[in-house]
Amino acid sequence: MALIDIGLLYLLKDKPAFNTYTARLVSYPAGLTVGYFLNRYFTFHHIDNVRHVLDELARFFAVHAVGGLLNFGVFSLVIYAAGGADFPPRWEAAIPLIGVCLGGVVGMCFNFFVSRQVVFDG
């Protein structure tokens, strides 16, 4: 999930009509879709899937929308906070990655615990 998110972010962020924020709005849902299927078939494979896949996917996206807001908020805070600092070019290039990682940890914890209770509750 994170590899899809980070890969697309770095692929898109310097393209015309994109910046770091708009690229993340594309990369996060792509990673999220991959994450649903990984969770369904690997992380929570031992739980009987009593819901139709579309119902479960809708619940997953709803939970992860909140997790995504937390994730994007932390990501934006890192980008904003680093914007006023004078970093060497090597560190400046890593700022989006640091934001994705920190936001990812916050969002991942929220998503896992809430998904276990609301989406993959069997």
Domain span at residue 32?
Answer: 2-118
Question: What is the pLDDT averaged over residues 47-70?
Answer: 85
The per-residue b/e assignment along 61-73, b for 16 or more CB within 10 angstroms, e otherwise, is eebbeebbebbbe
Residue linked to tokens 């980070």: 6
Total domains present in the chain: 1
How would you class 29 by CB atoms within 10 Å of its CB: exposed for 0-12, middle for 13-18, buried for 19 or more? middle
Q: What is the pLDDT of residues 5-54, one digit of tens each?
A: 889 999 999 999 999 999 989 998 898 889 888 888 888 877 776 778 78
Q: Is the pTM of this model over 0.85?
A: no
Residue 122 scores a pLDDT above 90: no
- Mean of per-residue pLDDT scores for the chain: 88
CA dist., res. 76 & res. 83, Å (int): 10
In the chain, pLDDT over 70 holds for what percent of residues?
A: 98
